[in-house]
Structure 1
Amino acid sequence: MSRSLNMKTWRACVIVLTGGFFTLNLLFGNGPDARGQLRDGGGPADVQPKNPERRAPGEREEDWRVRLAGPLDAEDARVMAWIREEHLHPPSDLPYNLDLGRNVDFTKLQYWQRVHQGILDVLKGKRNGFFLEAGALDGYYQSNTFFLERDYNWTGLLVEPNPVFFQSLLTRHRRAWATDLCLGTKPYPLKTEFWVHTGADASQSLIAASRSGLLKEHLENYASDGLESGSVVEVNCVPAISILSALNVTQIDLFSLDIENAEVDVMQWFPFDRVHVEVLVVEHWTAEDPEDSRAFVRLVEAKGFSFYRRDNHDYFFLHRSPRWVLARPGDSGAVDNLEPYEPLSMN
Structure 2
Amino acid sequence: MCSSPLTILRCMEGSKRRSAWRSAVLLMAVLYISLDLLFRNYDVTRLDRNDDVAGPGRGDDVIPDGVAITTRRLLPQQGTSKIQSEDATQDWKIRLAGPLEAEDPRVIAWVKEEHLHPPSDLPYNLDLGKNVDFTRLQYWQRVHQGILDVLRGKRGGFFLEAGALDGYYQSNTFFLERDLGWTGLLVEPNPVFFESLLTRHRRAWATDLCLGTKPYPVKTEFWVHTGADPWQSLIAASRSGLLKEHLENYQNGGLDSGSVVEVNCVPAISILSALNVTQIDLFSLDIENAEVPVLQWFPFDRVHVEVLVVEHWTSGDPEDSQAFVRLVESKGFSFYRRDNHDYFFLHQHPRWVLARPGDEGAVDNLAPYEPLIGHK
User: With structure 2 as the length reference, what TM-score do the two structures score?
Assistant: 0.74
Task: After superposing the two structures, state which structure 1 stretch, 214-223 or 325-334, moved more.
Answer: 214-223
For 2:224, the equivalent position in structure 1 comes to 196
The 8 Å contact of residues 44 and 70 in structure 1, kept in 2 or not, is answered as no
Q: Does residue 116 of structure 2 align to residue 74 of structure 1?
A: no
Which of 176, 190, 198 pairs up with 2:204?
Answer: 176
Q: Does residue 204 of structure 2 align to residue 153 of structure 1?
A: no
Task: After superposing the two structures, state which structure 1 stretch, 194-203 or 151-160, moved more.
Answer: 194-203
For 1:310, the equivalent position in structure 2 comes to 338
For 1:235, the equivalent position in structure 2 comes to 263
Question: What is the 5 A alignment of 1:1-347?
Answer: 28=52, 46=93, 48=95, 70-198=98-226, 201-222=229-250, 224-225=252-253, 227-346=255-374
For residue 229 of structure 1, report the CA deviation from its aligned partner: 2.4
For 1:19, the equivalent position in structure 2 comes to none
Q: Which amino acid aligns with 1:98?
A: L
The 8 Å contact of residues 245 and 288 in structure 2, kept in 1 or not, is answered as no
The 8 Å contact of residues 193 and 235 in structure 1, kept in 2 or not, is answered as yes
CA–CA separation in structure 1 for the residues paired with 2:302 and 2:331: 12
Larger Rg over CA atoms: 2
Unaligned runs of 5+ residues in structure 2 are 1-46, 55-89
What do residues 262-299 of structure 1 show as CA deviations (whole Å, max 9, x unaligned)?
00000000000000000000000001000100000000
CA–CA separation in structure 1 for the residues paired with 2:142 and 2:219: 35
Residue 255 of structure 1: SS of its match in structure 2? strand
Q: Which amino acid aligns with 1:154?
A: W
Task: After superposing the two structures, state which structure 1 stretch, 163-172 or 193-202, moved more.
Answer: 193-202
For residue 165 of structure 1, report the CA deviation from its aligned partner: 0.1
CA–CA separation in structure 1 for the residues paired with 2:100 and 2:235: 35
CA shift in 2, pair 1:44/1:336, >3 Å? farther
CA shift in 2, pair 1:209/1:164, >3 Å? same
CA–CA separation in structure 2 for the residues paired with 1:109 and 1:145: 16
CA shift in 2, pair 1:47/1:271, >3 Å? closer
CA–CA separation in structure 2 for the residues paired with 1:244 and 1:305: 20
For residue 148 of structure 1, report the CA deviation from its aligned partner: 0.1
CA shift in 2, pair 1:323/1:228, >3 Å? same
CA–CA separation in structure 1 for the residues paired with 2:328 and 2:150: 18
For residue 29 of structure 1, report the CA deviation from its aligned partner: 10
CA shift in 2, pair 1:233/1:147, >3 Å? same
Q: Which amino acid aligns with 2:93?
A: D
The 8 Å contact of residues 144 and 256 in structure 1, kept in 2 or not, is answered as yes
Q: Which amino acid aligns with 2:247?
A: L
For residue 47 of structure 1, report the CA deviation from its aligned partner: 5.3
The 8 Å contact of residues 131 and 232 in structure 2, kept in 1 or not, is answered as no
CA–CA separation in structure 2 for the residues paired with 1:104 and 1:227: 24
Task: After superposing the two structures, state which structure 1 stretch, 75-84 or 112-121, moved more.
Answer: 75-84
CA–CA separation in structure 2 for the residues paired with 1:289 and 1:200: 31
For 2:59, the equivalent position in structure 1 comes to none
The 8 Å contact of residues 280 and 304 in structure 2, kept in 1 or not, is answered as yes
For residue 216 of structure 1, report the CA deviation from its aligned partner: 3.2
For 2:36, the equivalent position in structure 1 comes to none
For residue 199 of structure 1, report the CA deviation from its aligned partner: 5.6
The 8 Å contact of residues 227 and 237 in structure 2, kept in 1 or not, is answered as no
The number of aligned residues is 292
Q: Which amino acid aligns with 2:311?
A: E
CA–CA separation in structure 2 for the residues paired with 1:167 and 1:28: 49
The 8 Å contact of residues 216 and 232 in structure 1, kept in 2 or not, is answered as no
The 8 Å contact of residues 263 and 284 in structure 1, kept in 2 or not, is answered as yes
Residue 71 of structure 1: SS of its match in structure 2? coil
Identity of aligned residues (%): 85
Q: Which amino acid aligns with 2:265?
A: C
For residue 215 of structure 1, report the CA deviation from its aligned partner: 3.0
CA–CA separation in structure 2 for the residues paired with 1:256 and 1:111: 15
What do residues 108-137 of structure 1 show as CA deviations (whole Å, max 9, x unaligned)?
000000000000000000000000000000
For residue 213 of structure 1, report the CA deviation from its aligned partner: 2.1
For residue 228 of structure 1, report the CA deviation from its aligned partner: 2.1
Q: Which amino acid aligns with 1:85?
A: E
For residue 201 of structure 1, report the CA deviation from its aligned partner: 4.3
Residue 235 of structure 1: SS of its match in structure 2? strand
Q: Which amino acid aligns with 1:335?
A: V
The 8 Å contact of residues 44 and 72 in structure 1, kept in 2 or not, is answered as no
Residue 195 of structure 1: SS of its match in structure 2? strand
For 2:10, the equivalent position in structure 1 comes to none
